[in-house]
Structure 1
Amino acid sequence: MATSSPLRNLEDEVLCSICLDYLREPVTIDCGHVFCYHCIIKVCESSRQPLYCSLCKTAFKKENIRHVWQMASLVENIWRMKVDEERQPTEERSPEQRAEKLCGRHMEKLHYYCKDDQQILCVMCRESREHRHHAAVLLEKAAQPYRGKILNHLKILKGDRDRIQNFQSTGQDEIQDLLTKFQGHRQDIITVFEQGHQFLREREQFLLDLLVGLEQELTEGRSSHITKGSEEMVRLGTLISELEKKVRQPALELLGHCTTDGFHCDFTFSRYPRKKFWIEKPISPAIKKRAEEFSDKILSLEKGLRGFHGKGMGEGRGSVIILNSQTANGYLSVSPNGKSMIFTGLWMNKYQHGQRFDPEPGVLGSKGFTWGKVYWEVKVDRIWWGAEEEEEAMKYRGGAREVSGSSYLGGFIGITDGYSSPGYRNESEEVEEEWSQENGIWPKFCLVGVARESVVRRGFLAFTPEEGFWTLQLSSAGVYICTSSEPFQILSYCPRQIGIALDYDGGKVIFTNARTQEFIYEFSFSFTGRIFPFLWLNCMRSRLTLRP
């Protein structure tokens, strides 16, 4: 081990400055520096005249190159000393030397890389017949290009990592900001609904207390009424008994009790006054008035809750409903924005589309629904409708027909009446409409509702749930439901704006008066496939407009 450092110094002296390897066939040039024969020949072949030494830059001539045999012997001896040092026992080596990988064939340290065979070699492998004439370089020199490529790729990867980290950091900041905003919204929701709950609880308690007061007054009035009636019955019973006894008395005895001026008989009859008890009203006008006011409060409460229910369904999807003009019948003209349509009476489309309704004047919405909730409104315009017609109709209407067991949210469940479609209506049928009105027969004006995507679109159709239609029929006579071959009237007036709420998952289609939030009707059905908004119009000078 003592010769380790001098050997390393000698090893540096016998390395070629061109190939950085042990000198092979060492030669000297004019300036005295020594190189491998093949290395200096390559310099002579690749360089122009004059030739210069790669170490001292002194000019030399090719013909003055001389072999240095003594140097060749010295290189061989140094190489053998190097081999002997590497062959020393493992236990005598340092930990760094034991950790080094050795040639599996010669158990020598690996120093070289064969470019021809792309193999790592030891000293003995390099001098073997197999690799002696190959281009072999030191491992460090061979690894430099790969190390450079790795460093360049590593630089790119680090840049990508830094960009991802910046993007991730920015994204996390945005997410955190939004989460913070959501926390604020959560607190706002809790606060608003808590205030709403508090208001509803207070309103509920107020109405219940008011109802208890009315019930208590009515109960007390009933007790007083019963007491007075009982007392009067007793008094009348006593008087009846007395009169029955007197009527059975002999005439002498009966007349003997009466004085000549008849005072006693008049006194007897006066015990029963002319104002009878049963003529008195059982409920005082004040209590009746308060009961009517209480009923009005309940109706207002129901109206408000129905309005909230209808608008709440509209917030479920927030979809903007427009019409698909390719499904519109040729007599219908759809506006460019798809929000309204009119019945023209003229065939507007020259080309037939497979999805167009014919001859029914119907049209589908452009977007179908397979889940969730959505709400939209249909405004109905006719020129013969006055501005106050609906209000007058509402004032004098009979209202919706009541069905046993239904509620304002449940609708008229179980009604099985409906209608089937006739043909078109045009201006020439105005006289027929007037005749129908006089005779109590009202033709349908339009249909609003929803339809399944797979509905039949050719020929005259039956607009019933079994055929894939859930609609209301609107006419001058009022509103009808369409569930079978004959229409069934549920309103005696026709609203100017209909609210339609589709709850796909809940299997419901709810219709309301969009202006008053009054409940009209509810269909219940287990939906399959895609459901589209549906409109049908067969009257001239009429328009249906979608909102929103």
Structure 2
Amino acid sequence: MATMAATSPLRNLEDEVLCSICLDYLRDPVTIDCGHVFCYHCIIKVCESARQPLYCSLCKTAFKKENIRHVWQMASLVENIWRMKVDEERQPREERPSEQRAEKLCGQHLEKLHYYCKDDQQILCVMCRESREHRHHAAVLLEKAAQPYRGKILNHLKILKGDRDRIQNFQSTGEDEIQALLAKFQSHKQDIASVFEQGHQFLREREQYLLEWLEGMEQELTEGKNSHVTRGSEEVVRLGTLISELEKKAQQPALELLQDPSDIISRYPRKKFWIEKPISPAIKKRTEEFSDKLLSLEKGLRGFHGKLIRDLEYKTMRIILNSQTANGYLSVSPNGKSMIFTGLWMNKHQHGQRFDPEPGVLGSKGFTWGKVYWEVKVDRIWWGAEEEEEAVKYRGGTRGVFGSSYLGGFIGITDGYSSPGYRDESEELEEEWSQENGIWPKFCLVGVARESVVRRGFLNFTPEEGFWTLQLSSAGVYICTSPEPLQILSYCPRQIGVALDYDGGKVTFTNARTEEFIYEFSSSFTGRIFPFLWLNCMRSRLTLRP
């Protein structure tokens, strides 16, 4: 602190004798109307370059050129301060304060560096500036020489600070958005837990209701069983007693037997023969009602399964057929959304990727990842009002109750679950076709296929061959298995939903109208998987949706 105090007066004096225009020691100092002092040549340059009126560069006060006056005392003061500076610089290094010893000195004169030579672009001390080598060069104080570079640095620093501020603002805004989205996710988690808890509670209540109903019927049936057994046992005992007495009577001698023959039947009368049904008509009726409730529950759960698959997990895709792969007997619409079987060879030009002779076609886009969903509408020209009315008289599909097969398919445990083959009054019927060799003929296939499937010759549309399809016929829905197709539905839905989970290796089919689950293939996909349609009926049309 003492050292700094010792050097402070000289440094303060240096600041007082610097020209604010050239930032160097005052040379031939002059003063203007406001009292500020400048180098004579500096202020004259200002007067020559500026327009009238003239203003002081420090206080912005107007002044006149003719009022500029020399300040000889200031010139003497500047010279004295300059000499003191020179003497200080010439002081031996070891005698200087520690602050000055740490400063960088001229390598030749061991003096403090004060100036910058613009001509040679060198940093000079006082001795170097007065030397013959630099005496006539343009030399300025280091601070003035560094000012342009400092300005550039400050400008670039301003830009960098602006970038930093923008990044920080962007980061802060991004963090706010992330936090808001995370809070939204937390809210969604709570909503999901709440919705599923409500669903679980609803199902538990329905389950308890059905179980209580079933237990009530079991109790009633058990009580009826006990009553039936007791009543029957009592009747058997009574008849056994009569039979025993009559057997003894029959063994009596004729003299005893004929003493009162007319009284035998009256003394052992035959009552009306007892018979009672083991199950009452009321219980039978309630059992049928219970079976109908189970069927309704089963159908509702299948619809629930299909809807969740479509709405929650899959992205609905707009599928377009690739006419270059279509068999010659197929006619693909100009928009690629539907096709019909013409029965006539429509394409004269052969393409290597075309199916032949199988009447099949692939979609224009294949999939190698993700979960996608689309629908296929099946139109038959004889599906009309008469068939809608006949739907009430539906064909005898199996009417069953829940089994392990259904539950396994519903929760995704078993591979290839098939739903029970029953239909209700809302399902449409198709015209009866004749059976050939015990098998109902197919009229179309709906599903997916590998890009690399064989397209020449007659094909087996099985997963082993790269096809995962449902086979639709007048008798219902089948899956292609070896050696014979396996029936999974006894009716043919009009609109099939196809859900492809490439990464999960699943192809799921649903009834798109009722959202009921139909069937699910499990496999391991390789290469591109394409939508696939196959049609072999002139009175049918397949249309892709949406």
State the TM-score, normalized to the length of structure 1: 0.71
- Structure 1 residue 297: deviation in Å? 1.1
Does the 8 Å CA contact 1:419/1:462 hold for their aligned counterparts?
A: no
- Unpaired runs of at least 5, structure 1: 256-265, 312-320
Q: Using the TM superposition, give the Cα deviation of residue 446 of structure 1 relative to its aligned residue in structure 2, in angstroms.
A: 0.4
Give the deviation of 1:89 after TM superposition: 6.4
Describe the SS at the equivalent of 1:113.
Answer: strand
- SS of the residue corresponding to residue 236 of structure 2 reads helix
Deviates most, 208-217 or 1-10: 1-10
Deviations 1:143-168 (A, max 9, x none): 12212222322333344344445544
Per-residue CA deviations over 1:98-121 (Å, capped at 9, x if unaligned) read 664444665432323344665544
The structure 2 residue matched to 1:284, chosen from 280, 284, 294, is 280
Deviations 1:469-492 (CA, angstroms, capped at 9, x unpaired): 111111223322202243333434
Contact 2:417 2:519 in 1 (8 A): no
Deviates further, 403-412 or 69-78: 69-78
Instruction: Give the C-alpha shift of residue 291 in structure 1.
Output: 1.2
Given the superposition, is the C-alpha separation of residues 406 and 347 from structure 1 closer, same or farther in structure 2, using an over 3 Å criterion?
farther
Provide, for residues 155-202 of structure 1, a one-character-per-residue CA deviation record: whole Å limited to 9, x for no partner: 333443444455445545555555555555445444433333332222
Q: Which moved more, 1:140-149 or 1:451-460?
A: 451-460
Q: 1:363 to 1:138 in 2, by over 3 A?
A: farther
The aligned residue for residue 275 of structure 1 is 271
Q: Cα 1:116–1:245, aligned 2, differ >3 Å: closer, same or farther? A: farther
Q: Percent identity among equivalent residues? A: 91
The DSSP-based 3-state class of the residue aligned with 2:541 is strand
- More off after superposition, 477-486 vs 348-357: 348-357
406-415 or 514-523, larger mean C-alpha shift: 406-415
**Aligned residues of 2:90 and 2:111 also touching (Cα < 8 A):** yes
Task: Please say if residues 408 and 417 of structure 2, whose CA atoms lie closer than 8 Å, have aligned partners that are also in contact.
Answer: no
- Give the secondary-structure state (helix, strand or coil) at the position aligned to 2:379: strand
Moved more, 134-143 or 51-60: 51-60
The separation in 1 between residues aligned to 2:247 and 2:461, in whole angstroms, is: 76
Deviations 1:408-464 (A, max 9, x none): 254599999999999999999999999955876543210012222332333332210
The alpha-carbon distance between structure 1 residues 460 and 301, as it changes in their structure 2 partners (threshold 3 A), is same
Superposed displacement of residue 20, structure 1? 6.2
Stretch deviating more after TM superposition (44-53 or 112-121): 44-53
- Distance of aligned partners of 1:130 and 1:231 in 2 relative to their CA distance in 1, 3 Å threshold: farther
Q: Which moved more, 1:234-243 or 1:458-467?
A: 234-243
Instruction: Note closer, same or farther for the CA distance 1:245–1:151 as it changes in structure 2 (3 Å cut).
Output: same
Query: Quick one: structure 1 residues 281 and 418, their matched pair in 2 at CA, closer, same or farther if it must change by over 3 Å?
Result: closer
Q: How many pairs were matched up?
A: 529
- Give 1:222 shift: 1.1
Alignment partner, residue 425 of structure 1: 423
Residue 237 of structure 1: CA displacement? 2.6
1:432 is paired with a residue of what secondary structure?
coil
Mapped partners of 1:408, 1:420: distance in 2:
7
Contact conserved, 1:421 with 1:463, CA < 8 A, in 2? no
Q: Match for 1:244 among 243, 247, 254?
A: 247
Identify the residue that residue 178 of structure 2 maps to in structure 1: 175
Contact between 1:509 and 1:524, CA under 8 Å: does it hold in 2?
yes
Taking a change above 3 Å as real, the CA distance of residues 368 and 497 of structure 1, as seen in their structure-2 partners, is same
Shift of 1:70: 18
Q: Structure 1 residue 94 and structure 2 residue 97: aligned?
A: yes
Moved more, 199-208 or 527-536: 527-536
Name the CA distance, whole Å, in 2 between partners of 1:428 and 1:207. Answer: 25
- Distance verdict in 2 for CA 1:458–1:20, change over 3 Å: same
Post-superposition CA distance 1:270-313 (Å, at most 9, x none): 788867767311010011111111111111111111101001xx
Q: Deviations over 1:247-278 (max 9, x none)?
A: 344434433xxxxxxxxxx7765788867767
Distance 1:216 1:439 in 2: 49
| Deviates most, 366-375 or 294-303 | 366-375
In structure 2, how many angstroms separate the alpha carbons of the residues matched to 1:283 and 1:428? 33
Change (3 A) 1:195 1:406: closer
Q: 1:419 to 1:2 in 2, by over 3 A?
A: closer
Structure 1 residues 135 and 42: CA distance shift in structure 2, 3 A: farther
Change (3 A) 1:371 1:476: same
Structure-2-length-normalised TM-score = 0.71
Bigger shift: residues 24-33 or 279-288? 24-33
- 2: CA distance between counterparts of 1:218 and 1:469? 51
Q: Confirm or deny: 8 A CA contact 1:420 1:463 kept in the other structure.
A: no
Contact between 1:419 and 1:464, CA under 8 Å: does it hold in 2? no
Structure 2: distance between partners of 1:418 and 1:176: 43
Does the 8 Å contact 1:236/1:272 carry over to 2?
A: no
Q: Deviations over 1:310-333 (max 9, x none)?
A: 01xxxxxxxxx4444444334434
- With 332-341 and 534-543 compared, the bigger mean Cα shift is at 332-341
Shift of 1:466: 0.2
Separation in 2 of the partners of 1:520 and 1:482?
A: 14
Selected match of 1:137 from 121, 136, 140: 140
Gaps of 5+ in 2: 308-318
Match of 1:437 in 2: 435
Is the contact made by 1:379 and 1:498 (CA closer than 8 Å) also made in structure 2?
Answer: yes
Q: Is 2:391–2:426's contact at 8 Å kept on the other side of the alignment?
A: no
8 Å contact from structure 1 (residues 418, 486) kept in 2: no
> For residues 480-539 of structure 1, what are the alpha-carbon distances to aligned partners after superposition, in whole Å with 9 as ceiling and x for unaligned?
220224333343432222233444455443334333455543333333444333211122
